[in-house]
Amino acid sequence: MDDELADADSEAGEADPSAYTTDVRTLDPRVRWLWVGRALVVALILGAIATAGALAALPQWPWIGPAVFVLVATLGVGHALLLYRSWSYEVREDSMLLDRGVITRIRTVVPYVRVQHIDTSRGPIERAVGLSSLVVYTAGSRGADVTIPGLRPREATDLQTRLKALAIESEGEDAV
C-alpha cells in the first residue's frame, strides 16, 4: 500500500521522499495496549447497554449483550492492532511526513515553515504505561494540528527539540 502512495507521488511530479529521508520511525509498541484497552472499554460499555436493553425489551434474547461485546471487542482490538502497524512518521529535510490509517490511509506532510508551536502531552493513562504524545500545531484552519501518539517521553522531547530547530531554520527560507 505504501508503494501505491509512492507511485502516486512520483506520478504527481513530486520528488522522491527517500531523497530527504533521515529515518522512518514507528510508534512504541506499548501504544497497542492503550488502544486495545480503549477498544475493550468501549465494547464493555456497549455490551452493558445492549444487555440492559435486551433484558428490558427482549428477555427471550439474553445473548444479545454478550454478542455485542464480543463483536465490538473483536473489531476494536483488530482495528487497534492494524492501526499500530499502519502508523509511521518521518522527519525529512523540509517537512515531517506522517502515514497512518487502517481503512483509509492518510498521508500528512507538515512543512516546517507552517509549524506554529509543538507540545508534548502525557495523560494519566499514558503516564501509567510510560508513553507521551507530540502535538504539532500548524498555520491553517483545517486540521491545523497533527498528533504523534505512543512515543517514549524522551523521544517526544527530543523530537520536539529537533522539530523546533527545523522550524526556526525554515523561517528564513519562507518564500511566501
Q: Model confidence over 37-61: pLDDT tens digits?
A: 999 999 999 999 999 998 888 888 8
What are 145-154's pLDDT values in tens digits?
899 999 999 9
Which neighbouring-strand residues pair with 96? 91, 110
Element housing 97 (H / E): strand 95-100
Within 10 Å of residue 159's Cβ, how many Cβ atoms? Answer: 21
pLDDT of residue 143: 65
Using CA atoms of 82, 84, 85, 88 in order, give the dihedral in degrees to the nearest 10: 140
What are 165-175's pLDDT values in tens digits?
999 888 766 54
pLDDT of residue 61: 87
Distance CA 5, CA 161 (A): 29
Among 146, 143, 32, smallest CA distance to 89 is for 146
